[in-house]
Every structure is written in C-alpha cells, then in structure tokens.
Structure 1
Amino acid sequence: MSCLMITKTLRIHYLKNALASNTMSYNDIASYYRNYNIEKSLRQIQRDLKELEGCLDANCKLITTFNNKEKYFFIEKTRNLSTNDKESLSIIMNTNFYEPYFLKEDEEKINLLKKAINEGKTIKISKIINDVTGDNAYFDSHKSPITPIKLIQHRNSYYLGGYLTKRKKIAFFDIKQLVDIKILNKKGNSELLIDKMNDELKKRFGITKNINNKIYTIKIEIAPVLVTFIKNNHWHISQKIKKEKSKNYLYLTCGINRELIGWLFQWMYNVKIVEPEILKEYYSKSIKKMIENHQSTPPLVYRNIFIDNETS
C-alpha cells in the first residue's frame, strides 16, 4: 500500500510539473507518462487530473480548454490575494475601457500557440484578418510557415511574435487576426530567434510596423502638466524627459509608425513635434486626411498611410 501511494504521489508530482509548463491533451499525458514507464488508462488519467486539481497551491488553477473537440489542460498561476486585497475588491471597480472581449476561441488560440512554442514547432495560419500592426503586408498563407516565438501582452491584448520563415521577417499579429492555426511537425528553433524579436520590438513604438528600417532621434515638446504622467508610465525603452531653456522635451530613439502618431494625437494641442521632419510630415498628413474625411460625404474606405509605400 505504501509503495502504491508513493508511486501515485510521484505520478501526480510529474503531472503537475508537466502541466505547469505545457498545455497537454489526454494523449499527451499518456505519452508523457510512458517516459516514466507508466501505463494508465484514460479513466485513470482523469482521476489523476481530479486529484491534482485538489492538491494545487492556492495561487494555482487547473485550466481546461478545447481545440478541435479535444480537451487540453494546463496549470495557470494566479496572484494570491491577501486579506487586504480581498477587502479592496469590494470597493474597487473596473471601467474595462480598452479591454478586448476575450472569447473561448481566443483562449483556444492562445493554448495552441503555447503548445507550439513549448514544443518548438512551426505553425501555419490560413488567413490574417484586419490590419492591427501593419505586418499583414509580409504575410502569405501559401508561402510563410511561422515560427512562433512569444505571446506578447500589449494594451490588454495578446499578440503573437513570430518569424516568417520564407520572408525572413519578424512580425506581430493580434491573436484575433489569426484564422485556422495548425501546428506543423517541423521544428522552428524559437529560442534562437528571441533576441531578433526583442531587437525588432525596441525599434518600434509599441508593436506596430515602422514606415521604414530607419531609427530616428525624436524630440517632442510637451506641456508641463504632462511631464509627470508621461514620466510615470512606460512608453518606450528609450524614453527620456529633459528640461531645456524652460521647455520640457520628450526624447525617443525608435522608428516611426502609426502607433506613435496615434499616441501623439491623444495629447492633442499639448505636444509639438520638434524633430525629425519626416515625423512632422506624417503627423500633418494624418491631420489633412482626417479633415478631408470630415468634409466628405462618401462612405469611408480603410487606408493605412504608414504602409502605402511598403517595400520588402
């Protein structure tokens, strides 16, 4: 009896370790068990999962998801609320502003991408819908298997950071853009691409594709009332605020993209671009397009002036 209990305890321990770092189906678990010469039926695996769920730490939760009608499991860590935190929940509310509607299909996509990343596999996507980051121009469903590198959280949304193997480009896509994800048997070596992806992110303001491959020294005059707010939030790794001759300036070293222009617009008449000239041109061009749209009557047609001159 003692021997059986030890074996069971070890088995649950192995299962816990596996699900803490991988998303696994019943078949995956059975295959994993066989690495330890453990042969268990589907019913026994179900019992193991139930027992595992009952002995998890308070800050861990066993998550069950579905993909193509197959069940998948993984362990997710949650923040352990203190007594004060729990009391605060009764007096704090969330506006949910800028939070996406997180659907079951989004969760399934995330779990599938986690599985591909953990196993070092490439993926194929049948279609990219809409334009979120501007990287759509790089995508060709027939020619571009993708090596998924990381899932990235940005503005409360999940993005896939990946490598388009045929185009030899790093690209980022909102998971809601991805249609029909399939894991391929081909290995992708995502660990070797992490530095390349991080370098690309540092070039971008946010996650949106730049207008070109150049990095600019950007100087923006900001009204005094904005200084503390901008300083107390992270916008880009290069951000610096300096006071020069009684004026406040924000300095950035990055590329120019739609996200940067949109960010400047939110400050309205409390910011002024000093340099470079090309940023001023895109800013003015965007204002001109908005005024033209405001004065026209035909239905709006989507345009992205930041990739109109796309060169690959």
Structure 2
Amino acid sequence: MKQIERIAKIINVLKEKRVSAEELKKICSENHEAVSIRQIQRDINDVPLFLNHDEFLNLVKEKKTIYYCIIKKGNNLEGNKIENKVVHKTKFYNQIYTENMLKNLSIIEQAIFNNKNIIIQSIKNDETGDNANFVSEAFSFYPLQIINHRETNYIGGYNPKKKLVQIFGINQLTIIVQGATTFSAKTLKIVFENEIKKRFGITKNINDEVYDIKIEMTDVLAGFIKSHYWHESQKFTRKNNLMILHLKCGINRELIGWIFQWLYNIRIIEPKILKEYCQKTIDEIQKNNTSDKMLFYRNIFEDRKN
C-alpha cells in the first residue's frame, strides 16, 4: 500500500472513531502488508495536510495511550460518529476553536512527538494559576501532554527554567514556535503524572501538600457525585444517614469552585485549611457585593513562592 493510500485509509478511520496508533497499525496491516508503528506515526503527522478547513486532528491521552480522531470545529471531542447519535446537547463549557488555536495545537503535537521544546513567545491571562503573575517575556517549555479538561484543551509540560510542572490553556498561547532543544520525556512524564495526581482537576495547588479531604453530603447529592469521575482518590463512606466523600489531593481554586457548585447541600469536615479558603472566598464575594469599586483580577490561591 502506498503512503498516500494509507493516509487516506487512516483519515477515513479517524473520521469514524477515535483510535490509537497501534490500532491504526493493525488496520493498515490487514492485507498482510506489514507497516511499522513509526511509519504510522509519520502518517498521522501528515494527516492535517489533507483535511478540510473546518476539520482538525484531535489528540487525547488516556492512561498513557494517545488516541486520535478527526473532528469538525465546534464538535464534541468524542468525534463525529458519537455527535450524530446525540439528539440534543447544550455545548455548555465547550471551547470555541479559532484558527490560531488549531495552529498552536498542531505545533504542540509535533513538538510532543519529536520531544522538542516550544518557545512560548506570548501568553495571556490566567486559566490554571500557572500564569497568575502574567508573565510577559518569552520562555522555553517542554510539552508533554495535551489535556482535554471540561471540553477545553490545555498543554501540560515542564518549565526548565523554573524547574516545575505547569499547565496552560491552549487559548492562552498567542504566539508559539517549535524550538530546537531536544529533551528526554521519560523522566519528565513521571514528574508530570505525579503532579497531576495531586491536583483536583488541572489548576495549580496552593502548596505541595496532599490533604485528606472529607466532605459530608446527602444521599441525593451523593448519588449524582458517585456516578461521575472527579479524582482518582474518590471514595465514599456512610455516617448515620449521610455520605462522606473522601479525596486525597491538593487544594486549589478548582476544588473550591467545585465545592461551591453544590451550594448548601454539603459540609466540609476537614481539613481546616480547606474550610478557611472557602470562607475567605465567601468573604471576598461579599466584599464585592457591597462595594462599588472597579473589579480587578486576583487569584487568592496563588502560592507566591514560585
């Protein structure tokens, strides 16, 4: 099978379902024409060259395996096949794709595949707490993983200058280019995974501590929360007629926002510092509601050590 024929076959498969490179290798070898995994990866890298202007190659990592699919701008990231089966959806929280964002995704995917650094020349806003100080100068970044979180794409990686894991929204990166520095991803991926396990969601934690969190709630709310994935440490125990959610993770603004989502149907048992941050947030909200001063952005969860 010629490369162009193989790419055409790969495109047809990716428009139908989400698959890994290993699965594509099996599909392309069905007629006893052996093809290497490296060749499949090169073919995947060439796929964007053949897509329509309203299509792009999406990459998602799940349990150390990268899955690919082709979707249209604005579609749910599960792919067109699932999209056609959905009778109604709100698209609530879905990220709005721009040409610049799609271009950045392509650059990042190539850099991850080649273990090359990227130069973030311009970055805006603060989506995860990792740019709370609004960095303005260009910096080198080792991209390790594209993360789809709450229907929004983020880039996770390692900042060699600061020597720490960082996560940024793709939408924050206004100007990036692939650099010339090659890095060893194996060790950094372990560091990255260890950091992600400590975060509730993807937002930067207030410190390096991991807390035993206990949250009391009613059976009704517990029924909903138990049916969804929030963190790998989640488990439930019963106390009298109430359920206790147990989490083992750091504290960040994403956790506080998640707690507030359930309004008055929960009670924080421990730790004390989590109660304090919730109360501090409530106090700040009340100050805003009783003041006519102009609002300005603040992140009360930022650890100033970094």
Same fold (TM over 0.5): yes
CA offsets per residue over residues 258-294 of structure 1, 9 Å max, x none? 0000000010000110000000000000001001100
Alignment of 1:40-55 (within 5 A): none
Give the residue type in structure 1 aligned to 2:208. N
SS in 2 for 1:206: coil
Residue matched to 1:22: 45
SS in 2 for 1:100: coil
Give the aligned CA root-mean-square deviation in angstroms: 2.7
Note if contact 2:238-2:244 (Cα within 8 Å) is conserved in structure 1: yes
CA deviation after TM superposition for structure 1 residue 11, in Å: 3.9
Residue matched to 1:115: 110
Note if contact 2:126-2:132 (Cα within 8 Å) is conserved in structure 1: no
Number of aligned positions between the proteins: 258
Note if contact 2:203-2:254 (Cα within 8 Å) is conserved in structure 1: yes
Residue matched to 1:310: 304
Pick from 221, 226, 232 the counterpart of residue 231 of structure 1.
226
CA deviation after TM superposition for structure 1 residue 166, in Å: 1.0
Distance 1:64 1:193 in 2: 35
Return 139-148 or 218-227, whichever deviates more.
139-148
Pick from 44, 51, 67 the counterpart of residue 63 of structure 1.
51
SS in 1 for 2:200: coil
CA offsets per residue over residues 17-64 of structure 1, 9 Å max, x none? 3554325788xxxxxxxxxxxxxxxxxxxxxxxxxxxxxxxxxxx425
Distance 1:18 1:242 in 2: 45
The structure number with the bigger radius of gyration is 1
CA deviation after TM superposition for structure 1 residue 250, in Å: 0.4
Alignment of 1:83-94 (within 5 A): 88-89=85-86, 92-94=87-89
Distance 2:173 2:158 in 1: 15
1:267 matches 2:290: no
Point out where structure 2 has 5 or more consecutive residues left out of the alignment.
11-39, 60-67, 71-78
Residue matched to 2:163: 168
CA deviation after TM superposition for structure 1 residue 98, in Å: 1.1
1:77 matches 2:65: no
Residue matched to 2:285: 290
CA deviation after TM superposition for structure 1 residue 194, in Å: 1.5
CA offsets per residue over residues 102-146 of structure 1, 9 Å max, x none? 112111110110011111110111122111100115885657310
Give the residue type in structure 1 aligned to 2:252. N
Distance 1:19 1:253 in 2: 40
Distance 1:110 1:264, change over 3 A: same
Note if contact 1:220-1:275 (Cα within 8 Å) is conserved in structure 2: yes
1:253 matches 2:248: yes
CA deviation after TM superposition for structure 1 residue 12, in Å: 2.9
Distance 2:229 2:143 in 1: 26
What's the % identity of the aligned pairs? 38
Note if contact 2:145-2:155 (Cα within 8 Å) is conserved in structure 1: yes
CA deviation after TM superposition for structure 1 residue 191, in Å: 3.4
Distance 1:152 1:167 in 2: 21
CA offsets per residue over residues 161-213 of structure 1, 9 Å max, x none? 01001111110000000121011111022233212111111100000000011
CA deviation after TM superposition for structure 1 residue 14, in Å: 6.6
Residue matched to 1:277: 272
Distance 1:21 1:147 in 2: 21
Residue matched to 1:179: 174
CA deviation after TM superposition for structure 1 residue 99, in Å: 1.1
Distance 1:148 1:65 in 2: 26
Distance 2:129 2:211 in 1: 19
